[in-house]
Amino acid sequence: MRLKEVTQLLKAKNKTIAVAESLTGGLISKLLTDIAGSSQYFILGLVAYSNVSKNKLLSIPKSLIEKYGAVSRQVAQKMAANIRKMAKTDLGIGITGIAGPSGGSKEKPVGTVYIAIDCPHCHTLKKFHFKGKRILIRKKAALQTLKLLKQCLKK
């Protein structure tokens, strides 16, 4: 997956994007802004790592986090929808997961990642299980997010 293809699609389709990241700690925002001219499409990147920040900054209800966990489909989708609404963009991305080496469980092992993309014509929500060390899991998650974004932009 070539990053330039994604950014060219964003520019060509005149789409704007905002990103709410947990697991990736800003890596997706960094990749999207590595290309000159990114201010044309990139509006906001927010790293909401803690449950408190997810609640206070992204308006994720505490009850949703308590019921499903911060690493869940429900939270990823709400992150994507709420960052899009907050930034008034065409697309919103929400990503949450467990990079390890600790923090995993039998139900949600290290490498569990949820990626959500919210836009009027493309609602994507995927679960992944990436293998590797922390840095590799984060990199794989960021690259997979860009791949899903590219698919969404091609629809």
Number of domains in the chain: 1
Provide the residue range defining the domain that includes 143: 3-154
Q: Model confidence over 65-117: pLDDT tens digits?
A: 999 999 999 999 999 999 999 999 999 999 999 999 998 899 999 999 999 99
Evaluate whether 48 touches 124 at the Cβ level (below 8 Å).
no
Give the full edge-to-edge strand order of the sheet including 17-21. 42-47, 17-21, 91-97, 112-118, 124-129
Report the distance separating Cα 86 and Cα 57, nearest Å.
10
Q: Model confidence over 39-74: pLDDT tens digits?
A: 999 999 999 999 999 999 999 999 999 999 999 999
pLDDT at res. 155: 85
pLDDT at res. 1: 60
Any idea what the Cα angle at residue 45 is, between residues 121 and 118, rounded to 5°? 15
The average confidence (pLDDT) of the chain is 96
Tokens read off for 3: 């990053």
Q: Model confidence over 12-35: pLDDT tens digits?
A: 999 999 999 999 999 999 999 999
CATH code at 134?
3.90.950.20
pLDDT at res. 66: 97
Dihedrals φ, ψ of 80, to 5°?
A: -65, -45
pLDDT at res. 24: 97
| Furthest-apart CA atoms within the chain: distance in Å | 44
Evaluate whether 38 touches 64 at the Cβ level (below 8 Å).
no
Report the distance separating Cα 6 and Cα 76, nearest Å.
21
